[in-house]
Structure 1
Amino acid sequence: MSFWKSNNAEKRASDTMPPSQHLEAIGKQKVSGNNNETIAILRSLFSPNDDLTTREIDVLGQYEATVMYLSNFVNSERINQDVLKPLVTTNMTRTKVARGDVVRFLLKQALNFGEAYVEVSVTKLAEALFRGNTVILIQHLKEAIVLSTRSIDHRTPSHPQTEQAIRGPRDGFVEAIGTNMSLIRYRLQTPDLRMESMELGRMTKTKVAVCYVEGLCDPDLVRRVRNRLNKIDIDSVLDAGTIEQYIEDNHWSPFPQMLNSERPDKCCAALLEGRVVILTDGTPFALIAPATFVQFYQVMDDYTERWLMGTLVRAVRLVSLVFSLILPAMYVAVISYNPELIPTKFAVAVAGSRAGVPFPAVVEVLIMEVSMEVLREATLRLPQQVGGALSIVGVLVIGQAAVSAGFVSPITVVVVALTTIGSFATPAYNAAIALRILRFPMIILAGIFGLYGLVVGIILVINHMLSLRSFGVPYWAPYAPFKLDGMKDAPIRAPLWSNFLRPKEVSPENDRRVSPQTVEYAKSPPKRQRRSLTTGPRRGGNKT
């Protein structure tokens, strides 16, 4: 793991207010060598909190020292075994070390920690304690030892909750960024994988890691991501969604311009395409940049299954996209302005079902859509056991009651139900929300202008998507600008051996991911020779 800090970040830290008024009062004060004075300063920062623990010991049996840590932020058993016990053991008390060499001796021979360093600033010591580290102060020494002892209980990797997979890995990201980084390294065991870390948030000091594969990812893309992250100067970063809202290209677009995922295999696939993955401590979701619109309708099942099944399922999702966006608006336009476009018998049946409905078609559809959105939101916010029952009651009981009362027509219920099911088929939740938002202006345009309004609405949506960029990459790629190689993984899912080039829109430094020999072998595999199966000796053979 490499650590980096640009000049912009240094300038940002010097030009803005400090993260805490208490730390501002300390200023640039150094460790004085008087433990009581330093402890008093540190205690003033944590007062009236009672989780700051101090333990007085004699290091090497002759030097007074104080061990400080937050009891709720560390593993107390590890503190006893790996910190206190080595410092006060009998063998250590017999060792004679000069006072000036105590810190060096402890770091190299007594304390077995992978992350241990010396600090002289009281402000840095306070920040280390806030992160869960342990501080060792030695009397009459103007430097302190900082040990990485942070230990937080977190859940183990489990099946992703928002990205279900029929065939594929079952592990997902967790809230601990260290675990998430190890899940990526587990799959990409290459020295070219880079994970650059930084901290965002004055108060939270949230660790953020920028992951990419050197030699594949465009250096300009990595530089663009770094610059945007360095310009974020806010109080807190509690989720990856906060970062997404600050670094996306168009803040007014309903379409998401960054892909989020809690699947390590999906993030690794993005890294191997030449994209950048951003991990945030405290959240199980990773950000993938740049993102194009076709990525929001691709899932890992498309690649783990054979290409015919992957193509069929992807076609079903595209049909669901059309249903979720334009089906209600098309129904309103045809019923209100152009009923001659539907067969006569069906038109008579629709007119009969709408007899007695007090509202025009556009108002009827809007009422049903709003009711469905309210029901969907209520289902999401309720407990899981109650939410499932509410969805069944809402669809069956409320819908049937509305039709029986003549409030809405049965055909409207069918159209809204198909639209809702189509939105559920969208793999990315934020992309489905974008279509749900655009569905309402499309219905209004169709209710006012008919099919002309529907066509104008579709043109405006497509024109807006053509104008979008995600870190400089066209949002509508590979359709516009048109890339023939990219079409092998856009409307269809071509065989893996035929899709041997990485996406050109991300400008990868190495665009080939399958060797020519493998492609030739996959195109024309060697013919299998038929094996002759014999059971026992041949008849008429020589007898012995």
Structure 2
Amino acid sequence: MQAWKDKYTAYVHKQQQASPPEPDKSPLTGNLQADLQALQARLGDNGDLVVRDFQLFGAHQAVMLFFSSLVNTEQVREHVLKPLMAGPTGHKEIPEHMAGMIHYIWSTAVQVTQGTTTTDISVLPDAAVKGELILLIEGVPEALVLDMRQIDMRGVEQPQTEQVIRGPREGYVEKLENNLSLLRYRLQSTDFRIEISPIGTRTQSRVALCYIESIADSGLVAEAMRRISMIDTDGILDAGYIEQFIEDQPLSPFPQVQCTERPDKTVAALLEGRVAMLVDGSPFAVIVPALFNQFFQTVDDYTERFIMGSLIRIIRLIALSFSLFFPALYVSVISFNPELMPTEFAVAISGGRAGVPFPAVLEVLIMEVSMEVLREATIRLPQMIGGALSIVGVLVIGQAAVGAGLASPITVVIVALTTIGSFATPAYNAAIALRMLRFPLIILAGMFGLYGVMIGTILILNHLLFLESFGVPYMSPFIPGKWRDLKDTLVRVPLWWMRRRPSFLHAQNNDRLSRNVPAVHVDQILRQEGEPSEQSPADHNAARSRRHQ
């Protein structure tokens, strides 16, 4: 948190062309035993703390300190300890004065790719618990810190919460370096910036803030840094902790940040001008700002042709509406307005409900609660058992409820369609919000009929209009509406039509599509945006000839 406060201060000073303040330091004394005792006192007694004293080049007393649970001991032995314990005959030009010993070791002896030197003893405990090796030498008031961290992690796998038909199959893992490499692999730009600092007084979890300097709004980056710097807690164990600390309205059921375990989705958000945050130990990235329309969009919408992508998105929106309004509409029509149904259909429904002792609203609530319990049990059980339980629960319990007279067949159909519609929502946290709001809508429908459904819908819309995510209205780009931003909402227009980035993100560089595209596409783009074409008649004729050929 203090490091993020320093980063936020440095970023603001950089925008104002000022230099950040220097932190206080506690210098090393050069007395090996005194420095080692002070360092061990800060680290405490630990079973995996290794303190290895040896003779440096056979002539100088030195000590290595590291945690064996975080460091690859085999690499330490081969690339650090073995060359440093070699006699003077194995090294040439060993400095006579101890002042240049650290520089000689780093540049000549050890075979490590990353390392640093420090004269501040207060930073050494944090370096050790992060998996770095500390080298202290008698008579040298400077320590060499080598990055030897190695933790066994699972490999890159297909994301479990965001399945796609056509798209990359790589997902984030728990190791931060692997996740950043997946981003670097897809975003090979010199403007890509990554700020890394720890958060948590106990866990010291590293949090990476990612953005594209030439695209992202500097105010958005500064606001993200400010909110991260305000986090003061014992530990950050997952990206969800960051989400709860930085969101605008914590009491709202709707998520105000977007969580994803897909690096390609993160890169797409960065290219629009958004900011992403990753936590060491979490396979999810947090993207801000997040708007309502993002939660029914998937990677398939963009990897498929725009006609197919738009059709799939419309189907997904219909399923979203089903999951929220369908049970409430059923209760209101059955209880208050049966004349809205065709006569034959109303007779069939009344015949099916003849033996049900409960009113429609209580019947639907019982079935919905039962379905939610079954869904939660399916998620928590082992994968092999969970699949069998879901099938048994849907078939056996549903049929038994109808046979026992606890529910009518039409109610079972309504609840099943509602559950399937909630599964079609791509974002899990947004689907939970819709599942929560379904119950108050059912209660309002049971009390006031269609008027209750209308009142509940108005309250939900007013709440959505009230929300903001990092200063951006949650219902953007619907309200306020702008034509260029509406091209990727209810439907997706062709990629060559979305020439500019979303205006509500205030990107520094709005153009994401150059004019070096086929002439027919440029004409359509400029005609829709009211701009004159820059192509000459000769260019049009040449393009037309190429198309005919």
State the TM-score, normalizing by the size of structure 2: 0.90
**Counterpart residue identity of residue 34, structure 2:** E
Count residues in correspondence: 513
The whole-number CA distance in structure 1 between the counterparts of 2:248 and 2:410 is: 41
The whole-number CA distance in structure 2 between the counterparts of 1:179 and 1:94 is: 38
* Equivalent position to 2:81, from 80, 84, 87: 84
**Counterpart residue number, 1:288:** 287
Please show how residues 311-330 of structure 1 align to structure 2 within 5 Å. 311-330=310-329
**Counterpart residue number, 1:14:** none
**Counterpart residue number, 2:148:** 149
Please show how residues 305-454 of structure 1 align to structure 2 within 5 Å. 305-454=304-453
Q: Do the aligned partners of 1:209 and 1:278 also contact (CA within 8 Å) in 2?
A: yes
**Counterpart residue number, 2:62:** 65
Partner-residue secondary structure (3-state), 1:488 = coil
Please show how residues 91-130 of structure 1 align to structure 2 within 5 Å. 91-92=89-90, 95-97=93-95, 98-130=97-129
Q: Do the aligned partners of 2:197 and 2:207 also contact (CA within 8 Å) in 1?
A: yes
Mapped pair 1:275 → 2:274: yes
The whole-number CA distance in structure 2 between the counterparts of 1:135 and 1:78 is: 14
Change (3 A) 1:367 1:527: farther
**Counterpart residue number, 1:489:** 488
Q: Any idea what the Cα deviations from partners look like across 1:420-457, whole Å, max 9, x if unmatched?
A: 00000000000000000000000000000000000111
Partner-residue secondary structure (3-state), 1:53 = strand
Partner-residue secondary structure (3-state), 1:195 = strand
**Counterpart residue number, 1:469:** 468
Shift of 1:486: 1.8
Q: Do the aligned partners of 2:322 and 2:421 also contact (CA within 8 Å) in 1?
A: yes
Higher mean alpha-carbon deviation, 181-190 vs 320-329, is at 181-190
Change (3 A) 1:119 1:471: same
Q: Do the aligned partners of 2:210 and 2:275 also contact (CA within 8 Å) in 1?
A: yes
Please show how residues 180-329 of structure 1 align to structure 2 within 5 Å. 180-329=179-328
The whole-number CA distance in structure 2 between the counterparts of 1:516 and 1:140 is: 65
Q: Percent identity?
A: 52
The whole-number CA distance in structure 2 between the counterparts of 1:4 and 1:341 is: 60
Q: Do the aligned partners of 2:159 and 2:261 also contact (CA within 8 Å) in 1?
A: yes
Higher mean alpha-carbon deviation, 283-292 vs 193-202, is at 193-202
Please show how residues 525-536 of structure 1 align to structure 2 within 5 Å. 526=544
Change (3 A) 1:517 1:129: closer
Shift of 1:70: 0.9
Q: Do the aligned partners of 2:276 and 2:286 also contact (CA within 8 Å) in 1?
A: yes
Higher mean alpha-carbon deviation, 237-246 vs 85-94, is at 85-94
Q: Do the aligned partners of 1:9 and 1:231 also contact (CA within 8 Å) in 2?
A: no
- Unaligned stretches of 5+ in structure 1? 11-26, 532-544
Partner-residue secondary structure (3-state), 2:425 = coil
The whole-number CA distance in structure 2 between the counterparts of 1:302 and 1:282 is: 30
Q: Any idea what the Cα deviations from partners look like across 1:238-271, whole Å, max 9, x if unmatched?
A: 1111011111111111000111111111011001
Change (3 A) 1:96 1:241: closer
Partner-residue secondary structure (3-state), 2:276 = strand
**Counterpart residue identity of residue 349, structure 2:** V
**Counterpart residue identity of residue 138, structure 1:** I
The whole-number CA distance in structure 1 between the counterparts of 2:94 and 2:278 is: 47
The whole-number CA distance in structure 2 between the counterparts of 1:367 and 1:245 is: 31
**Counterpart residue number, 2:177:** 178
The whole-number CA distance in structure 1 between the counterparts of 2:7 and 2:381 is: 47
Q: Do the aligned partners of 1:302 and 1:310 also contact (CA within 8 Å) in 2?
A: yes
The whole-number CA distance in structure 2 between the counterparts of 1:393 and 1:93 is: 73
Q: Any idea what the Cα deviations from partners look like across 1:42-96, whole Å, max 9, x if unmatched?
A: 3444454211112222112211111111111111111011111221224446654
Change (3 A) 1:7 1:268: closer
**Counterpart residue identity of residue 146, structure 1:** V
Q: Any idea what the Cα deviations from partners look like across 1:349-369, whole Å, max 9, x if unmatched?
A: 000000010100000000001
**Counterpart residue identity of residue 510, structure 1:** N
The whole-number CA distance in structure 1 between the counterparts of 2:519 and 2:467 is: 38
Change (3 A) 1:47 1:511: closer
The whole-number CA distance in structure 2 between the counterparts of 1:134 and 1:523 is: 57
Shift of 1:387: 0.4
Change (3 A) 1:8 1:162: closer
Shift of 1:516: 2.6
Partner-residue secondary structure (3-state), 2:62 = strand
The whole-number CA distance in structure 2 between the counterparts of 1:28 and 1:307 is: 58
Q: Any idea what the Cα deviations from partners look like across 1:215-235, whole Å, max 9, x if unmatched?
A: 211111111111111111111
Change (3 A) 1:251 1:518: same
**Counterpart residue identity of residue 6, structure 2:** S
Shift of 1:120: 3.0
The whole-number CA distance in structure 2 between the counterparts of 1:46 and 1:193 is: 36
The whole-number CA distance in structure 2 between the counterparts of 1:447 and 1:241 is: 36
Q: Do the aligned partners of 2:4 and 2:229 also contact (CA within 8 Å) in 1?
A: no
Q: Any idea what the Cα deviations from partners look like across 1:157-190, whole Å, max 9, x if unmatched?
A: 1111111111111111111111111111111111
Change (3 A) 1:95 1:58: farther
Please show how residues 125-136 of structure 1 align to structure 2 within 5 Å. 125-136=124-135
Shift of 1:386: 0.5
Change (3 A) 1:47 1:376: same
The whole-number CA distance in structure 2 between the counterparts of 1:519 and 1:493 is: 20
The whole-number CA distance in structure 1 between the counterparts of 2:518 and 2:369 is: 51
The whole-number CA distance in structure 1 between the counterparts of 2:177 and 2:479 is: 38
**Counterpart residue identity of residue 218, structure 1:** D
Mapped pair 1:75 → 2:67: no
Change (3 A) 1:529 1:471: closer
Partner-residue secondary structure (3-state), 2:64 = strand
**Counterpart residue number, 1:15:** none
Q: Do the aligned partners of 2:276 and 2:285 also contact (CA within 8 Å) in 1?
A: yes
**Counterpart residue number, 2:48:** 51
**Counterpart residue number, 1:35:** 32
Partner-residue secondary structure (3-state), 1:489 = coil
**Counterpart residue number, 2:6:** 6
Q: Do the aligned partners of 1:498 and 1:519 also contact (CA within 8 Å) in 2?
A: no
The whole-number CA distance in structure 1 between the counterparts of 2:212 and 2:29 is: 45
Shift of 1:123: 2.9
The whole-number CA distance in structure 2 between the counterparts of 1:137 and 1:7 is: 29
The whole-number CA distance in structure 2 between the counterparts of 1:6 and 1:144 is: 23
**Counterpart residue identity of residue 409, structure 1:** S
Higher mean alpha-carbon deviation, 183-192 vs 420-429, is at 183-192
Shift of 1:519: 5.8
Q: Any idea what the Cα deviations from partners look like across 1:372-397, whole Å, max 9, x if unmatched?
A: 01000000000000000110011000
Change (3 A) 1:64 1:6: closer
